Structures are given as structure tokens and as C-alpha cells.
Amino acid sequence: MLLPSILRTVVPLAAGWIIVALTGLGFSLDSNTAQAAVTLAVAAVYYVVFRLVERTVEKTGGPPWLKGAAGALLGYARPPRYKPTDDVAELIRQSRT
């Protein structure tokens, strides 16, 4: 499904924007470009932290609720699963299902 990938991209970006807005990070900057950069950096950190939590719980056999919570905070409780392949056309087909 494409929807999980979209959600797991958009939710961290929205979370980064909300975190910046609520904490005032970047609002003292005069440049809109600098503020956007701060927002994207916060969103990237947000994504990496929750993805690492999700991955660590998966690899170590930690509590399933923690993996689900980290995934939900990324917008979709389960990470997308893709079949391993070197065929680019097949990867594109998989991303559309």
C-alpha cells in the first residue's frame, strides 16, 4: 500500500512543524528559509528517533506496544514491507500496491 508510506512521510513533517511552532524554535529567525530548515531538521530528528525505537524493539524482541506506539507516532503503526529485489520496475510496482 502506498498510504502507509505517505503517512509515515507526512506525519513526521507535520510533527516537526508543530514542535517548532509550540516551542518557538525558529520563530526568532528573520528568514523564512531558515525557519523551514529548522522545521525540516526537527522533523528529520523526530523520524529518526521513532524509527530507531521501532527498529530496536523489532530486533531485540521488546514490548510490542512500544513498537506500535513508535509506528503510530510516525503515522502508521506498521512499517511498510517490501519484497527484496534488484529489479527497479518491480520495486515501482510494489510501491503502487
pLDDT of residue 60: 93
**pLDDT range class, residue 65, cuts 50, 70, 90:** very high
List the chain domain ranges: 2-95
Crossing angle for the helix pair 32-60 and 64-72, nearest 10 degrees?
A: 160
**pLDDT range class, residue 93, cuts 50, 70, 90:** confident
**pLDDT range class, residue 39, cuts 50, 70, 90:** confident
Measured CA to CA, the distance from residue 2 to residue 94 in angstroms comes to 9
Contact 53, 68 (CB under 8 A): no
How would you class 40 by CB atoms within 10 Å of its CB: exposed for 0-12, middle for 13-18, buried for 19 or more? Answer: middle
Model-level pTM greater than 0.85?
no
